Amino acid sequence: YAGYLKEQEAGLRRVWVASRDGRFCGYVSLIRNPSQVFREGTPVPEINDLNVLPDFRRQGIAAHLMDLAEAEAGPVSDLVRLAVGLQAGNGSPQRPYAKRGYLPDGRGVHHHGQPVAEGASVTNDDDLLLYLTKTL
């Protein structure tokens, strides 16, 4: 998290923290200009690392954090993206992202930041990702 703070101070990342009754609930961050170029040579802001603690889930906190990040991305781009892990443990966020209008970006799955070639074998770990985008 020290890295997040340094990136926020440098204007590279914006972080929102949620609390309720003085208790930490969760956070989300937005990378304004990610290093990966996505569309027409232009970086697309990326919502990154949304996390709400289990005791605070299903209370609208994640939706509120996403609203904040999307509102920040809007003036920079008409598109925002995020990555979702493909392992079973990440199944719960996949449906809400679809309900918010996020769709696969059409570039297939990525592993360690690289597209997975057709027919390739990879480990289904935290680095196996599908990128989703939403038009703002």
Confidence band of 120 (pLDDT split at 50, 70, 90): very high
Helical segments of 52-133, H only: 61-73, 91-99
For 73-101, the pLDDT digits (tens) are 998 888 999 999 888 776 666 788 999 99
Confidence band of 132 (pLDDT split at 50, 70, 90): very high
Q: What angle do CA 6, 69, 29 make, to 5 degrees?
A: 30
Q: Residue 22: what pLDDT?
A: 93
Whole-number Cα distances in Å, 88 to 85, 113, 124, 126: 8, 20, 9, 11
